[in-house]
Amino acid sequence: MLNDPKVARLFEFLIDHQKTPALEPVFAPRRDGWVSYPSIEEQLGVESDYVVRLLEDLRRLGYLHKQFHDKVLFCPACNSQDLQLVILCPKCHSAHLLRKRFLKHNNCGYVGPEENFGRGETRICPKCRDELVLLGSDYQNMGIRYGCGDCGEVVENPEEKWLCRSCGRFFGKLDVRELVLYRYEVNPAQLAKLKVERIPKARVHEFLTREGYEIQESALATGRSGAEHQIDLLATKRSGPLEHRIVVGFASAEKEVDSEEVIKLYAKAYDVDAQDTILVVSPRLSKDAQNFARHYHIKVFDAEQLNHPNVNISV
């Protein structure tokens, strides 16, 4: 999977946009899914379902972190997000509910909005006209309730439904569909590895494959000396009885790659009878290493060169 050219392009995109907070999703209902990552789809020229699977694969491999982005509620009939939560009277199902603070007169049992008992300091029961003085003794604060403007019912917990403003249908609270959207961020610990190894390796792999070579990664090859060598990339092209081999190595250092890496790679290539040798370094070769590379006819690229989409790799 990591050798797929599309994955290499995605890695390039991630590195170029590493200061961007995240790869953010959008809600995009379709036959094969619900989520889209437009920036990646445009970059790779692929469908949404491919990108969703790809991002999850890269998360499992540790290249990406997955984080909560949003939760989307949408209509189960037409997929519209244009929803409105409406409250209804449980008795007559009217939406004409008014939210107010209600009081109850203990003596006569009248329950009504606070405003019905007067607006000043004096409270008068509108039913029996008694004056209400002491809270708890004369009257009770019933808290916020809903009064139905059509049938007069007073309710604490009205009926709740969702109205889809696109198709006009009503749905129960649990019938509306919900979808959690996740965004992806580059794992900083893997970013350096992407720059130094994965993208350059994918570039070389892609180029040599186009040239007709069969590629082995982390290949174990036995040399003429009988020693077994681990080779980062071993490319082989056969034409009748003839075989052309290319050994590719990758080396990195904090400041400069020294000559030891060049000599070790040359020794491997010579022992396995390779006709050409490529060394990819980050950030660069030391001067001594450059001299050795020229002496051994090793083609050298730095990782930044291979990160460029138009680089030409030739041997």
306 pLDDT tier (thresholds 50, 70, 90): confident
Query: Hey, what CATH topology would domain 5-75+176-186 get?
Result: Arc Repressor Mutant, subunit A (1.10.10)
Topology of domain 191-307, CATH: Trna Endonuclease; Chain: A, domain 1 (3.40.1350)
To the question of pTM greater than 0.85 for the whole model, the response is: no
Mean pLDDT of 8-22: 67
* Percent of all residues in the chain with a pLDDT value above 70, rounded to a whole number: 90
Q: What is the mean pLDDT of the chain?
A: 88
What is the β-pairing status of strands 159-164 and 154-155? unpaired
- Strand segments, DSSP code E, in the chain are 26-30, 33-36, 64-74, 83-88, 97-105, 111-113, 123-124, 131-132, 139-148, 154-155, 159-164, 170-172, 177-186, 214-222, 228-239, 242-252, 276-282, 299-302
Point out the least confidently predicted range of 20-29, 31-40, 274-283, 289-298: 20-29
What is residue 272's predicted lDDT score, i.e. its pLDDT? 96
pLDDT band at 185 (very low <50, low <70, confident <90, very high): confident
- The CATH 3.40.1350.10 domain(s) of the chain lie at 191-307
Residue ranges matching CATH 1.10.10 in the chain? 5-75+176-186
Q: How far apart are CA 290 and CA 284, in angstroms?
A: 9
Which of the pair, 309 or 146, is modelled with greater confidence?
Answer: 146
| Average pLDDT of the segment spanning 250-254 | 81
